[in-house]
Amino acid sequence: MPRSARLDAPGILHHVIIRGIERQDIFRNKADREDFVDRLSKLVPETRTSCYAWVLMSNHAHFLFRSGPCGLAELMRRLLTGYAVGFNHRHKRHGQLFQNRYKSIICQEDAYLKELVRYIHLNPLRANMVKDFEALNRYAFSGHRLLAGKAECSWQDGGYVHGYFGESSAIASKQYLAYVKVGIALGRRPELVGGGLIRSLGGWTEVKNMRLKGMDRIKGDERILGDSDFALSVLSCAKERFERSYQLKRLGYDVDRVAEKVAAIYEIDPDEIFQKGRRKTRANARGLFCYWCSSELGMSLTELARKLEMTVSGAGYAARRGEALAKRHQYSLTK
């Protein structure tokens, strides 16, 4: 059966799971984990992704991300590719490290953010990697310590999660710890990580009840964690985004035509967009070009960086500049 296309767009909450191929370890020692965290610390702010929870195990890892302006794929591609190259070099191995694609589940925030933060951070305790709750508070490779008030992490958005638990950091940390402790007795919570229809409806009991009432055709999707209305909303937005990109390409909008549109706005030659330089007009034009190519045509930052002979982070910065310009001046690619 062909696998489903990923659902990805700016500002969406994702529960991401990565696993080692054939259940092999992707973190063999402390150096591996430190390398992975170092990459996260650079890429999360660079891609303007928000990280609310994370944990590194042995053969897998969990994250709760809110995607940045260019979606989640750019972050994950750079993170996993870079780490795999470094891992293979350190351990003198070759070949694939991760099991197929990473798993990404779009989540309904109000219903599931707290649940997922707790579920993710309890992983080391459920897997007996730490012996008790106090040991979990000391586990270094998890976002739990920040939320518990035991450590700092500049790239993790602890303040946003704390907002669900209390008005001050001290009160929020105390309430968070109490909430996580209650979750220990709940076990593995498979409904949070698998089974689209079952998960979307609230578990097998609810599905059975709905079937007894003759409600068999209910919307569910393995890529979405949320109720039926939320699933329909996400799928509708994803369809609109795909159709917009497809329609633009069908109408002849490609890189060159975008460059022509931008050049007309700034009254420059299209070739200037592809030339290096710090002149403000050219920098603004490159920014708008990057924004429209990424948001409207679906190009990755890597493709843009290659096209413009710049770094990926530079392309990301340019796209953010372009987004601000488009909103401020109400520029439209098709008008």
Domains of the chain: 13-191 (3.30.70.1290), 194-244 (no CATH), 251-329 (1.10.1750.10)
pLDDT for the residue numbered 264: 94
Which residue ranges of the chain lie beneath pLDDT 70? 1-9, 108-111, 187-246
Helix (H, G, I), strand (E, B) or coil at 60: strand
pLDDT score for 216: 41
Per-residue pLDDT of 22-50, as tens digits, reads 889 999 999 999 999 999 999 999 888 99
What is the pLDDT, as a whole number, of residue 270? 92
What phi and psi values does residue 35 have, to the nearest 5 degrees?
-65, -40
Q: What is the pLDDT of residue 78?
A: 92
Q: What is the C-alpha separation between 104 and 117, in angstroms, rounded?
A: 15
How far apart, in whole angstroms, are the C-alpha atoms of residue 238 and residue 243?
A: 9
- Which residue is associated with the tokens 């409207």? 296
List Cβ<8 Å contacts ≥24 apart for 216-223: 220/196, 221/4, 221/196, 221/197, 222/4, 222/105, 222/194, 222/195, 222/196, 223/4, 223/6, 223/7, 223/104, 223/105, 223/106, 223/196
Cα 193 from Cα 31, distance rounded (Å): 28
